[in-house]
């Protein structure tokens, strides 16, 4: 039987495991096998190793061992009997994957909110096999989104989370962002840098902050008008920002938000740097500050992200690294040594 190599989660360990001699899957009648051309590395990967897979809903079985990697793009390798005459899934067709497996029939899915499916919490690389392998079995064809011809596999993979997540968050509050608005972006990692590029299209004033001083040049190039590695040096007065995006999610960024958000301003929480945070409940209440939490995004938004990339409105910041270096890159990510997004090409070993 043909085999492949993968990296993933094993409940016995807290570190990434290399899985050798994984069988290359055979598709069922209405399934296909995707050749993984690109897979992105995300901070959620070490979180999965530390805290375990996300909870799944019965009757779906939660695996104690699975291949990780949830930012995935690839090409059709083989298809089941029922798909052989369908031109959409011809060999070589290019797709990015919606991370979660939406059912398509619940109230949220029928409203276009399939990122918040009520019947399924299964997700590639987070509680079932994902893209840190050479070939991936696709059981739910709804997760496949076509990649525009002029968008690379690498950019498409990054789009599935690193672009989609900030895009989803910004769409919720875009009606609040005017050319006169002042917006603070806290955290210029993979998500924050893409958020700056998206916000640039709304012609607002963007201020960026990150403890990594060396990322200043990129943040400015992407559209920030100012950058601070320490908000104590910020030239803007307290309570002067209309919208604040927190892509870090730790107590110091919450404290910055409390200091700089306007009365009746909007706080958009995205980062999950800590499991719990102390929010300034009373001060946010009497100042009528709105706090909005976000997670992932919908398939329609992912399609829109791919279109924005195709039109040059977003240029995902990523670096391609040899697949064999995945364990080291994971450690570098945990040690805050990674800039932008790391992308692997599993089939180029």
DSSP class of residue 138 equals: E
Distance (Å, whole) CA 282 – CA 295? 25
Rounded CA gap, 157 and 74, in Å? 8
* CATH architecture classification, 164-293: 3-Layer(aba) Sandwich (3.40)
Where do the domains of the chain lie? Answer: 3-146+317-344, 164-293
Looking at residue 59, what is its pLDDT? 58
- Measured on CA atoms in the order 308, 312, 313, 314, is the torsion positive or negative? positive
Beta strands in the chain (DSSP E): 3-10, 17-23, 32-41, 65-67, 71-79, 94-97, 135-138, 144-146, 182-186, 205-209, 226-228, 241-246, 261-269, 290-293, 318-321, 341-344
220, exposed or middle or buried, with CB in 10 Å at 0-12, 13-18, 19+?
Answer: middle
Q: What is the pLDDT tens value at each position of the chain, 349 positions in all?
A: 799 999 999 998 889 999 999 999 999 999 999 999 999 999 999 999 988 888 776 656 667 899 999 999 999 999 999 999 999 999 999 999 999 999 999 999 999 999 999 998 899 999 999 999 999 999 999 999 999 999 999 999 999 999 999 999 999 999 999 999 999 999 999 999 999 999 999 999 999 999 999 999 999 999 999 999 999 999 999 999 999 999 999 999 999 999 999 999 999 999 999 989 999 999 999 999 999 999 999 999 999 999 999 999 999 989 999 999 999 999 999 998 998 899 999 998 6
pLDDT of residue 14: 83
For residue 269, say if its preceding peptide bond is cis, omega within 30 degrees of 0: no
DSSP labels, 293-314: E-----HHHHHHHHHHHHTTS-
Q: What is the model's pTM?
A: 0.95
CA distance 138 to 53: 19
By the 8 A CB rule, do 38 and 156 touch? yes
CA distance 78 to 89: 9
Tell me the β-bridge partners of 261.
241
* Count of Cβ atoms closer than 10 Å to residue 95 Cβ: 24
The per-residue pLDDT for 53 is: 87
pLDDT of residue 295: 93
Give residue 160's Cα distance to chain centre. 6
Report how far Cα 174 is from the mean position of its chain's Cα atoms.
19
Q: Where are the alpha helices (DSSP H) in the chain?
A: 44-51, 107-110, 153-158, 164-173, 190-200, 216-222, 251-260, 281-286, 299-310, 326-334
Beta bridge pairs of residue 9:
66
Residue 341 CA to residue 191 CA, distance in Å, equals: 9
Interatomic CA distance for residues 24 and 2, integer angstroms: 6
Distance separating alpha carbons of residues 192 and 118, to the nearest angstrom: 28
- Tally of CB atoms within 10 A around 93: 18
The per-residue pLDDT for 146 is 98
pLDDT at 186: 98
| Alpha-carbon gap, residue 257 to 275, rounded angstroms | 18
Distance CA 5, CA 299 (A): 29
Query: Which pLDDT score, from 0 to 100, does residue 63 have?
Result: 78
CB atoms within 10 A of CB 211: 13
How is domain 3-146+317-344 classified at the CATH fold level? Quinone Oxidoreductase; Chain A, domain 1 (3.90.180)
Identify the pLDDT of residue 54: 80
What is the rounded (10 degree) CA torsion for 129, 132, 137, 138? 80
């Amino acid at each position: 039987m043909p085999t492949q190599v993968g990296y993933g989660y094993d409940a016995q360990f807290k570190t990434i495991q290399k899985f050798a001699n994984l069988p290359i899957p055979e598709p069922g009648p209405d399934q296909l096998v995707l050749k993984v051309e690109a897979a992105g590395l995300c901070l959620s990967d070490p979180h999965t190793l530390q805290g375990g897979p996300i909870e799944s809903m019965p009757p779906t079985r939660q695996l104690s061992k699975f291949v990780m990697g949830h930012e995935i793009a690839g090409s059709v390798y083989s298809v089941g009997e029922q798909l052989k005459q369908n031109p959409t899934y011809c060999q070589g067709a290019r797709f990015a994957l919606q991370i979660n497996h939406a059912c398509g029939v619940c109230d949220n899915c029928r409203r276009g909110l399939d990122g918040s499916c009520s019947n399924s919490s299964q997700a590639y690389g987070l509680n079932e096999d994902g893209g840190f392998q050479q070939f991936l079995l696709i059981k739910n064809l709804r997760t496949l989104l076509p990649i525009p011809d002029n968008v690379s596999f690498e950019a498409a993979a990054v789009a599935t989370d690193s672009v989609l997540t900030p895009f989803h968050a910004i769409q919720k509050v875009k009606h609040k962002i005017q050319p006169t608005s002042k917006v603070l972006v806290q955290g210029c990692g993979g998500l924050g840098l893409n958020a700056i590029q998206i916000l640039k299209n709304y012609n607002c004033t963007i201020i960026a902050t990150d403890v990594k001083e060396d990322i200043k040049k990129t943040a400015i190039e992407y559209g920030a008008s100012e950058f601070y590695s320490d908000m104590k040096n910020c030239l803007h007065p307290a309570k002067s920002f209309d919208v604040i995006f927190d892509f870090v999610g730790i107590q110091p960024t919450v404290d910055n938000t409390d200091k700089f958000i306007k009365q009746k301003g909007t706080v958009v929480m995205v980062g999950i740097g800590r499991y719990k945070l102390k929010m300034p409940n009373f001060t946010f209440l009497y100042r009528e500050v709105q706090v909005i939490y976000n997670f992932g995004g919908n398939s329609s938004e992912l399609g829109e992200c791919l279109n924005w990339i195709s039109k040059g409105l977003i240029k995902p910041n990523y670096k391609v690294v040899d697949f064999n270096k995945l364990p080291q890159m994971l450690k570098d990510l945990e040690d805050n040594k990674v800039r932008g997004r790391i992308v692997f090409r599993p089939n180029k070993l």
